[in-house]
Copies of this chain bind each other. A is one copy, B any other.
Amino acid sequence: MPDTPGTSRDTKRMEAFSDAVFAIAITLPIVEIEMPQLHGTPGLGAELARLWPSYLGYLLSFLVIGIYWTHHHFSGKIYARADHGFLLATLVFLMMIAFIAFPTRVLAEHIADAANRPAAARFYVLGLLLTALAWLVKWLSGLWGGSLDERLDPAYVRRLTWQYSVSTGVYVAAALLSLASPLAGLALAAAVTLYYLRRPPDPVYRAGREGPE
């Protein structure tokens, strides 16, 4: 079947759009750090120190969005086209990427507030779960809709499907666990997330097929 003009969308513009959303989502939380209002009374140093949960929130949100970006950046290499379903799934994923800053802030601002820490931890784990789920749906939508580069080795593709499914499963477990023990759920969800700090595996191509570029 030849490539009829317009039946597939090229991935370049979608990548550029995604990267722009990532860049905005990762930068915006800086406006949420509120400046102390002292109006001439001393104590700025103490006030700036007291803001540590806000700095922590900014750092955490940069970390999580940054981790997703390194994997999204990488995955840009393995799509050959972007059909309409994949476009919509990507939009849903980007919606979660921009949203995740909010539960992150909620967690950071209540990390030292014993009364609200459990609810904040549950909300954050739920946010991580929904983001991981959106990532998995995007992956499956690309896989089933034929957007993946067909030169990829099927074993490599199966391994990624497996990995993303297991991760999402662990986030589900973490969310359930957080109902009983918020901090244990948080620790589990944090562990899966940090696992993705390591280098994404290089794409593997079928024997005799060359990779991109």
18 example contacts (A-B, Cβ-Cβ < 8 A) are as follows A5-B212, A6-B202, A17-B19, A17-B69, A17-B73, A21-B23, A21-B27, A30-B98, A30-B102, A31-B31, A32-B35, A35-B102, A40-B115, A44-B106, A44-B115, A48-B106, A70-B88, A84-B199
Q: A25-B27, A35-B106, A88-B197 known; A73 and B116 CB under 8 Å?
A: no
Given contacts A113-B40, A122-B45, contact A35 B91 (CB under 8 A): no
Asked whether any CB of chain B lies closer than 8 Å to the CB of A87, the reply is: yes
Q: Are A62 and B9 in contact, with the CB atoms below 8 A?
A: no
Give the residues from 61 to 90 in chain A that come closer than 8 angstroms, CB to CB, to chain B. 62, 66, 69-70, 73-74, 76-77, 83-84, 87-88
- Contact between A213 and B5, CB atoms less than 8 A apart: yes
SS of A interface (majority): helix
Contact of A26 with B by CB under 8 A:
yes
Q: Is residue A170 within 8 Å, beta carbon to beta carbon, of the partner chain?
A: no
Q: Quick one: which of B14, B66, B199, B213 contacts A73, CB cutoff 8 A?
A: B14
Complex CA gap A77/B13 in Å reads 11
Q: Are B73 and A9 in contact (CB under 8 A)?
A: yes
Q: How large is the interface on A (under 10, 10 to 19, 20 to 34, 35 or more residues)?
A: 35 or more
Chain A, residues 194-213, CB within 8 Å of chain B (1/0): the string is 00011110110100001111
> Chain B residues with Cβ under 8 A from A36's Cβ?
106
